[in-house]
Chain A
Amino acid sequence: MISLKGVNEFKNNAMAILFLALCFPGMAQAQATASSLGSQSLGRPYWHVFTAYAIAWLLVLLWMVAISRRLGRIEDRVGSAVRD
């Protein structure tokens, strides 16, 4: 019998950690407005930088969500096999 409990615990922990990492660029942007960067207007190059970082972490998050969904399907399959 394959145990999925450990993998699911990991999934939850990892999702929480990644969420924090994703928040960080936003925090950095907010802090930038209060530092020396804030004396300049957030022109187009800044938005390109922030968009690039957001895209990077969004794609990593999407991969993680895809893995989690796949795990969920396996769990359902194992669960139904056990019930049968």
Chain B
Amino acid sequence: MNNEKAKKVSLFFGVLGVATVLLLHYMVFFWVPTESSMGIVQRIFYIHVPSWWVAFIAFGAVALCSGVYLWLGDDRLDAAAVTAAEGGMIFTSIGLLTGPLWGKIAWGAWWTWEPRLTLALLLWFIYLGYFLVRRSTLNPERGKRLAAVVGIIGVLDIPLIHVSVSWLRSLHPEAVVLNPDGPTLDGSMLATLMVGLLAYTLIFISLFTMRYTTEVLDRATRVQST
């Protein structure tokens, strides 16, 4: 993808994303009803869940690109993987920081070492390790391959995070959308959540495109300058 095309794609998704974010904020602060048991703090849910949704998409992309990179050795796939990993870290951090803000009000504690929270924190550390491994070898190509392996192994934590609530003794609220019995959320809350998921996905696609283009440019100019 050339610069101009990347700019257009990124701008298109960026404008759509910001418009959806504005709609999300309107819905969260003025439209959606307050949840009866948790009260106003439940509104954190509308950014907490989308941040994890995007993080899981990003780390899924890391695993996919890393797997194909190990197979084909195409440097663009490694660039896409490192870009997705960076985005995944950002959105995982949002999830890890917004969760305790809800937990302090709902549970009376910022953090508890229950299965889902612990596995979620582990995911953050796995992808921190992804970046550390990349820089830990003298041969950059070897670092990329080792990081690709970490990227593939790390994604295995995601299904564990998902099932931890039902399989293990967990304090975390159970799934209200991806529930075997169907969504259990009120219609307006579900609509607000869907807008949040869309907004975060669009913002991620926009920034991913821009960051990926930057990464490819960076590598190209490094090759030219050496």
Contact = CB atoms under 8 A, between A and B. Distances in A.
Interface size class of B (residues with CB under 8 A): 35 or more
B116 interface: no
Nearest to B222: A77
Given A24-B22, A71-B214, A14 B94 contact: no
A62 B89 CA distance: 12
B214 A81 contact: no
Interface in A34-52: 35, 44-46, 48-49, 51-52
A52 B10 CA distance: 26
B21 A24 contact: yes
B59 to A, nearest CB: 16
Contacts of A81: 221, 224-225
A77 B220 CA distance: 11
B25 to A, nearest CB: 5
Question: By DSSP majority rule, is chain A's interface helix, strand, loop, or mixed?
Answer: helix
B152 interface: no
Interface residues of A, number: 43
Determine which residue in B21, B87, B104 has the highest number of CB atoms from chain A within 10 A of its CB, and name it: B21
A2 B51 CA distance: 34
11 contacts: A3-B4, A6-B4, A11-B210, A28-B29, A48-B41, A52-B48, A52-B97, A55-B98, A67-B207, A71-B214, A77-B221
Interface of A: 2-4, 6-7, 9-11, 13-14, 17-18, 20-21, 24-25, 28-29, 31-32, 35, 44-46, 48-49, 51-53, 55-56, 59-60, 62-64, 67, 70-71, 74, 77-78, 81
